[in-house]
Amino acid sequence: MSEIQARPSKTDSGVALPAYQMRIGGEWREAVSGARFESVNPFTGEPWASVPDGDARDADAAVRAAEAAQTGAWGAATGFERARLMHRLADIVERDAAELAELETRDNGKLLREMRGQMDYLPAWLRYFAGIADKLQGDVIPSDRPNYLIYTRHEPVGVVAAIVPWNSPLMLLMWKLAPLLAAGCTVVVKPSEHTPVSALEFARRVDEAGFPPGVFNVVTGVTPEVSRALVAHPGVRKVAFTGSPGVGKAVAQAAAGHFARVSLELGGKSAQLVFPDADLDAASNGLIAGIFAATGQTCVAGSRLLVHHRVQDALLERLAARTREIVLGDPMAADTEMGPLANAAQFATVSGFVERARADGARVVAGGRPDPGHGGLFYQPTILTDVRPEMEVAREEIFGPVLSVLTFAEEDEAVRLANATDFGLGAGVWTNDVRRAHRVAHALRAGNVWVNSYRVVAPNVPFGGTGASGWGRESGLESVREYTETKAIWIELAGATRDPFKLG
């Protein structure tokens, strides 16, 4: 039975939808309940696919399948075999990047060119971490006793629950998947109810690459039940979560109930600091990239502009002019620069933030309302000035195309304003003074600092935040350690007996 059109599904108008199934233990399955839900295209507002609505029973089946793989063929595979399969999967993803990008755009409404760029980059993560899979070697530790050989092993932590958001589903899944496969773990993926399809399509590529059944499992569901069941499941030894701080806190608390490890990649209220010696054209372009690319729906959105008062007017003139020219429209179209928000709840959230900011004294210099030319879930790219540090729009994550502008007079003031947040994910520094660049980058409380650029990632560079932005790191060599346990092994060499009542 194929995972597509396993059960014909139709909209109210009688249009047939592709009907997907979940992937559990190498099999395509319906939900135990038989229930289904529809994924809605944010641009058209119409359902475009049908997926199973799983519950705790499906989550349990997936964890058990992952456990079986962990103790079976996958657990017995060498790092060289894991690397071979990861390279094979990278080739398949590279081949199918265009198709996967279109699926992502239909699911979340982001630009096709944005999603195509992400899909084209995914194989780099698989290849980088495949290169680590066969090099996870321990150390021989010098002993203070001549009759002992001591060494360490880095062993897989076990079954991982990967809970993935809707804004960049496969990219944020890959940041978890590549290092956990390199470490030898298995995974149960819970995609967002807003973007369930791409993970199911990705499962087909994992199968084609030849991974043993149960290594990669996907359970879909429209309510939080599946995620809660996974986080609390005693068979899950690590939870890798990307989402909001509120949910992240609940995830950490639930996982602690059975001592599961947790890594949290949460939100941000990232500042971009523009100093008076900065290249204002470059800074303006970087600010646009930081807040209006991806319709502002990114954890590292540069949603706060801190600009020196001497260059405020000159920068805002450039920034507002470019913002008013941003082309909104069909995310599949090549000339579109900003698509719709991903869902109705996010649209309401963005609208509410702007209206409350206006009532609180902020001034709109660009945008500030739903886009009249498109309707639906389109919101204009918005710039707010006269923003005070204590205002909601300067403190809370909006996750939409809204830039709050604050000014400063001195470098220390800029750093203080940038750090005046519970978040600590990203920051941008715009200056041509190399000494200031390093000084400020060191002083900022953020896991990622870009100087004269913004929103750049790579598979070999750690990504993560501090405070309300979470803990742990994704990407980079150290991310593999998030998925391993270190075991110390002592080998007594002399065969001598010792005093049993004395340590050592």
State pLDDT tens for residues 307-316: 999 999 999 9
Pick from 55, 156, 147: nearest CA to 497: 147
Q: Is residue 290 part of a domain?
A: yes
Tens of pLDDT along 187-219?
999 999 999 999 999 999 999 999 999 999 999
pLDDT band at 166 (very low <50, low <70, confident <90, very high): very high
**Cβ(79)–Cβ(134) under 8 Å?**
yes
**Cβ(272)–Cβ(428) under 8 Å?**
yes
CB atoms within 10 A of CB 456: 10
Percent of the chain with pLDDT over 70: 97
The whole-number average pLDDT for the span 24-40 is: 98
pLDDT band at 6 (very low <50, low <70, confident <90, very high): very low
Which amino acid, residue 49? A
Q: Is residue 398 part of a domain?
A: yes
pLDDT band at 13 (very low <50, low <70, confident <90, very high): low
Pick from 167, 142, 166: nearest CA to 152: 142
The whole-number average pLDDT for the span 393-416 is: 98
CA 210 from chain center: how many Å? 26
Q: Is residue 93 part of a domain?
A: yes
Rounded to whole angstroms, how far apart are CA atoms 488 and 477? 21
370 lies in the same domain as 477: no
Rounded to whole angstroms, how far apart are CA atoms 358 and 291? 19
**Cβ(319)–Cβ(288) under 8 Å?**
yes
200 lies in the same domain as 292: no
Encode 415-428: b = buried (16+ Cβ within 10 Å), e = exposed.
bebbbbbebbbbbb
339 lies in the same domain as 211: no
Rounded to whole angstroms, how far apart are CA atoms 261 and 163? 14
Pick from 332, 338, 334: nearest CA to 350: 338
Task: Give the number of domains in the chain.
Answer: 2
Phi and psi at 410, nearest 5°, equal: -130, 155
Q: Is residue 499 part of a domain?
A: no
Tens of pLDDT along 42-71?
999 999 999 999 999 999 999 999 999 999
Give the range among 4-8, 48-52, 394-398 with minimum mean pLDDT: 4-8
**Cβ(31)–Cβ(22) under 8 Å?**
yes
Q: Is residue 472 part of a domain?
A: yes
68 lies in the same domain as 211: yes
98 lies in the same domain as 221: yes
Pull the structure tokens for residue 397.
Answer: 């994550």
423 lies in the same domain as 476: no
- Residue 307: enclosing H or E segment and its boundaries? strand 304-308
304 lies in the same domain as 324: yes
Give the sheet arrangement for strand 382-385, strand by strand. 363-366, 382-385, 402-408, 304-308, 271-274, 426-430, 448-451
Measure Cα distances from 207 to 24, 49, 213, 420 in Å.
Answer: 11, 21, 8, 47
Rounded to whole angstroms, how far apart are CA atoms 255 and 346? 27
User: Residue 160: pLDDT above 70?
Assistant: yes
User: Residue 317: pLDDT above 60?
Assistant: yes
Predicted confidence at residue 3, as pLDDT, reads: 45
User: Residue 81: pLDDT above 50?
Assistant: yes
What interhelical angle do 169-183 and 79-95 show, nearest 10? Answer: 160
Predicted confidence at residue 1, as pLDDT, reads: 34
Which of residues 391 and 498 earns the better pLDDT score? 391
372 lies in the same domain as 309: yes
Rounded to whole angstroms, how far apart are CA atoms 269 and 387? 14
Predicted confidence at residue 375, as pLDDT, reads: 85
pTM of this prediction exceeds 0.75: yes
pLDDT band at 427 (very low <50, low <70, confident <90, very high): very high
Average pLDDT, the chain: 96
The whole-number average pLDDT for the span 387-397 is: 97
217 lies in the same domain as 71: yes
Pick from 167, 459, 412: nearest CA to 300: 167
CATH, residue 424: 3.40.309.10
User: Residue 358: pLDDT above 50?
Assistant: yes
Question: Can you say whether residue 467 is alpha, beta or left, with left for phi > 0 and alpha for psi between -120 and 50 degrees?
Answer: left
Task: Please list the active-site residues.
Answer: 265, 299
Phi and psi at 67, nearest 5°, equal: -60, -40
- Residue 451: enclosing H or E segment and its boundaries? strand 448-451
The whole-number average pLDDT for the span 374-397 is: 96
pLDDT band at 497 (very low <50, low <70, confident <90, very high): confident
Measure Cα distances from 400 to 72, 371, 484 in Å.
Answer: 45, 14, 36
CB atoms within 10 A of CB 176: 29
Predicted confidence at residue 10, as pLDDT, reads: 57
Q: Is residue 13 part of a domain?
A: no
Predicted confidence at residue 419, as pLDDT, reads: 98
396 lies in the same domain as 469: no
Predicted confidence at residue 15, as pLDDT, reads: 66
Question: What radius of gyration do the chain's Cα atoms show?
Answer: 24
206 lies in the same domain as 240: yes
Q: What is the largest CA-CA distance in the chain?
A: 85
Tens of pLDDT along 103-123?
999 999 999 999 999 999 999
228 lies in the same domain as 255: yes
Rounded to whole angstroms, how far apart are CA atoms 17 and 85? 32
**Cβ(254)–Cβ(287) under 8 Å?**
no
491: β partners: 149
Q: Is residue 99 part of a domain?
A: yes
Predicted confidence at residue 11, as pLDDT, reads: 56
Q: Which residues contact 237 (CB under 8 A, 6 or more apart)?
A: 157, 158, 159, 160, 260, 261
CATH, residue 84: 3.40.605.10
Tens of pLDDT along 232-262?
999 999 999 999 999 999 999 999 999 999 9
Q: Is residue 471 part of a domain?
A: yes
Q: What domain range is 279 assigned to?
A: 271-451
Rounded to whole angstroms, how far apart are CA atoms 364 and 378? 17
